[in-house]
């Protein structure tokens, strides 16, 4: 049976040991029926140690952790659960130094755990195409050229340039889901395919007047406001929802991780997007939702390559 809880304290009470965490993971992952992570067979035998299983078809032995981000990890599931609680409940994300202190692991271990959790949240946030009314806008993460001394500024790095900053495209349904993606170049040939991949054709799209968005009118009901002349709202045409999401991202994630490498930006974006998209869930529901999507392990070698 899946246990519910609504605070960190209640979670620790509900899962006092490794076995209770295994039981919870099993209830969540095997909601319909037990299956083999190697071949998918549902002919599964259970050993009396209450944690080992064997496939009746491919004959392989496995635990509930096989095929998840917890596979090959010596860290107790209870510590993973606390890490998931912290990462999903803290709106501003959590730094590896803080997680290390909170669950008593080394910073290297905490960093690795966070990367695995981010990987899991990222692969989950890309699912259904967006529809309804979708606001789209880009934001720029990285070097703030305007704050640097004049003679240290690189030429042509202001505004929409990506010479020192990384551009991120955000697409959000009003009252619904957010999707984000970093791009190397901010031009139509980079932006338009991301939008057509993620937004249902025929959807109403709201943007600002940036010329790269102009081509959207071929496939969408595209409306835009003209920021450059001080126009921010025109009836129901505005981009306030996506701008609100960006300011949350900047105050939180960018505020904590001041120097985000391009390599890791997508993971932080996935993390942020996941929290944004589960904002209606209670703390415990969010942990259980996370656990239901913990499949797909990330090896250290793959992570650092
Ligand atoms: Zn099997």
The percent of residues in the chain predicted with pLDDT above 90, rounded, is: 54
How many whole angstroms from 62 Cα to the centroid of ligand 1? Answer: 9
The DSSP secondary-structure symbol of 161 reads -
Phi, psi angles (nearest 5°) of residue 230 = 80, 15
pLDDT value at 303 more than 60? no
| C-alpha of residue 38 to centroid of ligand 1, in Å | 5
Q: Which tops the pLDDT comparison, 305 or 102?
A: 102
Residue 282's CB: how many other CB atoms inside 10 A? 14
The HSE-up count of residue 50 (CA atoms within 13 Å, CB side) is: 8
Q: How far is the CA of 119 from the centre of ligand 1 (A)?
A: 25
pLDDT level of residue 90 (50, 70, 90 thresholds): confident
CB under 8 Å to 180, separation ≥6 — which residues?
Answer: 125, 168, 169, 170, 171, 269, 270, 272, 273
Q: Are 83 and 113 in contact (CB under 8 A)?
A: yes
- For 126-169, the pLDDT digits (tens) are 467 899 999 999 998 875 544 444 444 455 545 666 667 889 99
Tokens linked to 249: 């991202």
3-state SS, residue 170? strand
Q: Give me the chain's average pLDDT, please.
A: 85
pLDDT at site 300: 45
**How many whole angstroms separate alpha carbon 29 and alpha carbon 42?**
13
Distance (angstroms) between ligand 1 centre and the Cα of 227 equals 58
Which range among 125-129, 175-179, 190-194, 234-238 shows the weakest confidence by mean pLDDT? 125-129
Q: 53 alpha carbon to ligand 1 midpoint, in Å?
A: 10
Summarised one tens digit per residue, pLDDT across range 230-262 is: 888 999 999 999 999 999 998 877 776 677 777
Which pLDDT band, with edges at 50, 70 and 90, does 302 fall under? low
Q: How far apart, in Å, are the Cα atoms of 159 and each of 4, 105, 143, 156?
A: 47, 42, 12, 8
Cα(60) to ligand 1 centroid in Å equals: 6
> What is the reported pLDDT for 161?
62
159 against 268, higher pLDDT: 268
Using pLDDT thresholds of 50, 70 and 90, give the confidence band for residue 296. low
CA 42 to ligand 1 centroid distance, Å: 8
List all residues 6 or more positions away from 303 whose beta carbon is below 8 Å from its beta carbon. 112, 115, 116, 119
Strand stretches in the chain, DSSP E: 44-46, 53-55, 61-62, 133-142, 165-173, 178-183, 204-208, 221-225
Query: Six-digit token pair at 119?
Result: 């990987």
Beta-sheet pairing, 178-183 with 44-46: unpaired
- Which range, of 13-17, 188-192, 248-252, 260-264, averages the lowest pLDDT? 260-264
* Separation CA 282–CA 293 (nearest Å): 17
**Rounded Cα–Cα distance for residues 108 and 52 (Å):** 29
Question: Looking at residue 110, what is its pLDDT?
Answer: 95
Q: Reply yes or no on whether the pLDDT at 89 is more than 60.
A: yes
Q: Which residue shows structure tokens 């490794």?
A: 18
d(CA 190, CA 51): 48
Res 301 pLDDT > 50: no
**CA–centroid distance, residue 72 to ligand 1 (Å):** 19
Separation of alpha carbons 292 and 277, rounded Å: 15
Ligand 1 centroid distance, CA of 34 (Å): 11
Q: What is the pLDDT of residue 123?
A: 64
Mean pLDDT lowest among 14-28, 43-57, 151-165, 186-200:
151-165
Q: What is the predicted pLDDT for the residue at 274?
A: 83
Instruction: Give residue limits of the domains in the chain.
Output: 133-267
| 27 CA distance to ligand 1 middle (Å) | 19
Residues by chain with Cβ below 5 Å of ion ligand 1: 36, 38-39, 41, 55, 57-58
284 exposure class (CB count in 10 Å sphere: 0-12, 13-18, 19+)? buried
Place of tokens 């140690």: 49
CA of 64 from ligand 1 middle (Å) equals 13
202: Cα separation from own chain's centroid: 27
39 CA to centre of ligand 1 in angstroms = 4
What percent of the chain has a predicted confidence (pLDDT) above 70? 86
Predicted local confidence at residue 152, as pLDDT: 44
Q: Per the structure block, which two tokens stand in for 193?
A: 């395919």
Alpha carbon of residue 94 to chain centroid: 13
CA of 32 to the centre of ligand 1 (A): 17
- 8 A C-beta contact, residue 169 and residue 194: yes
63 C-alpha vs ligand 1 centroid, how far in Å? 12
Distance 35 CA to ligand 1 centre (A): 8
Higher pLDDT, 71 or 271: 71
Q: Using one digit for the tens of pLDDT, what is the confidence trace for 77-86?
A: 999 999 999 9
Ligand 1: centre distance to CA 37 (Å): 7
């Amino acid at each position: 049976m899946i246990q519910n809880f609504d605070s960190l304290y209640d979670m620790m009470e509900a899962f006092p040991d490794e076995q209770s965490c295994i039981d919870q993971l099993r209830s969540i992952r095997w909601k319909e029926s037990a299956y083999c992570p190697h071949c998918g067979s549902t002919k599964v035998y259970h050993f009396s140690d209450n944690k080992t299983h064997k496939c009746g078809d491919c004959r392989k032995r496995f635990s509930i952790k096989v095929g998840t981000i917890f596979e090959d990890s010596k860290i107790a599931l209870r510590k993973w659960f606390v890490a998931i609680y912290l990462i999903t409940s803290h709106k501003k994300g959590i730094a590896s130094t803080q997680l290390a202190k909170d669950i008593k692991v080394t910073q290297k271990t905490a960093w690795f755990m966070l990367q695995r959790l981010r990987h899991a949240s990222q692969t989950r946030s890309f699912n259904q195409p967006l529809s309804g009314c979708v606001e789209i806008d880009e934001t720029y993460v990285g070097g703030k050229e305007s704050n640097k001394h004049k003679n240290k500024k690189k030429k042509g790095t202001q505004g929409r340039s990506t010479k020192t900053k990384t551009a991120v495209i955000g697409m959000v349904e009003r009252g619904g889901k957010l999707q984000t993606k970093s791009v190397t170049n901010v031009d139509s040939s980079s932006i338009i395919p991301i939008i057509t991949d993620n937004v249902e054709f025929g959807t109403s799209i709201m943007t600002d007047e940036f010329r790269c968005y102009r081509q959207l009118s071929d496939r969408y009901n595209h409306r835009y406001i003209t920021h450059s002349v001080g126009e921010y709202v025109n009836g129901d045409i505005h981009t306030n929802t996506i701008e609100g999401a960006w300011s949350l991202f900047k105050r939180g994630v960018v505020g904590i991780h001041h120097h985000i490498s391009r390599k890791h930006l997508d993971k932080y974006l996935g993390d942020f997007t996941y929290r944004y998209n589960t904002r209606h869930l209670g703390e415990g529901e969010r942990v259980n939702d996370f656990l239901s999507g913990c499949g797909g392990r990330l090896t250290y070698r793959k992570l650092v390559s």
